[in-house]
A and B are shown apart, each in its own frame.
Chain A
Amino acid sequence: MNLMDTLYSFLPDVLTAEGFAGIADEAAGVVFLIMLAVTVAGGIIACNSERLVRAVAGLAVCFVGVAAIYYFLNSPFVAMMQILIYIGAVCITIAFAIMLAAPEDNKKPGPAGPLSGPLGVITAGLVTFGMVGLAIKTQFPAMPKLNMGSVKLIGVQLLTSYSMVFELVSIVLLIAILGSLVIARHGRSK
């Protein structure tokens, strides 16, 4: 046994290659659990908080957790786009809507309707229960992978196989911009 092997045997398990791989797997599991909790907590704040500003902040927290979950699903590009589009655009837009059109002072107390309260909880619970049951009971056969879904491949397919959809989404966005301008502009001069 030479000197290197002697030194190597004194190292703790974490610093060896196999030990580090095991620790990294467990760390990934812990990070996944934390992000799961962040997502669910953000969702609860978003649908339950009394003030809408807190709801939109909870929505942003939920979107951060969802971006981490996309990262765990082998899609770092979609995770980045999630943060860019959902937190950077959608949450900011909703925050503007709150500031422009939902003042907190003339809010009416009381329930929203017959479905708020216990009936709303039951409705959402039944939907969730049904979907969870289906997800747990069903066997989904996995097909062999053709590729790894890299960012380069996404770009190539977006501009070759799916270029038609790409253009259609551009038109949808253009019409949405024009339509929102027209709707919000109406009655402004009064």
Chain B
Amino acid sequence: MSILNLHNSLTTYLVLAAILFGMGIYGLVTRKTLVGMLIASELVLVAASINIMAFNRFTAPDPSIGQIFTLFIMAVAAAEAAIGLSITIAVYRNYKSVDTEDLVDLNG
């Protein structure tokens, strides 16, 4: 298969989604601040969306269902970002820091 024909195979999209997912996992375990972990979790969500859209395009009988599902993932991701922002701000107000090493106090 030619390299210019990659966009017609399911495997390309699955591999791309796996790479994005791995980057998200790497960011989640490496980042030291809550905001950095929020950014990495968005990468994980977008990898899941690409996976669903790829199967939707290549194998599913009804291609509109996967698109609807991806739209719902986007809505949930937006809600998650809003909640994450407010939690980050609440933590910063209490601890004057969003560093994950400072957030060891359960009795906040």
Contact = CB atoms under 8 A, between A and B. Distances in A.
Contacts of B15: 132, 135-136
Contacts, number: 270
Interface residues of A, number: 94
B29 A123 contact: yes
A127 B24 CA distance: 11
Interface in B85-108: 85-94, 97-101
B27 A78 contact: no
Interface in A119-159: 119-121, 123-125, 127-128, 131-132, 135-136, 140-150, 153-154, 157-158
A150 B64 contact: yes
The bracket for how many chain B residues form the interface is 35 or more
A25 B8 CA distance: 11
B46 A173 contact: no
A17 interface: no
Interface of A: 25-26, 28-30, 32-33, 36, 39-40, 43-44, 46-48, 52, 55-56, 59, 62-63, 66, 69-70, 72-75, 77-78, 81-82, 85-86, 89-90, 93-94, 96-98, 100-102, 106-108, 112-113, 115-117, 119-121, 123-125, 127-128, 131-132, 135-136, 140-150, 153-154, 157-158, 162, 165, 169, 172-173, 176-177, 179-181, 183-184, 186-188
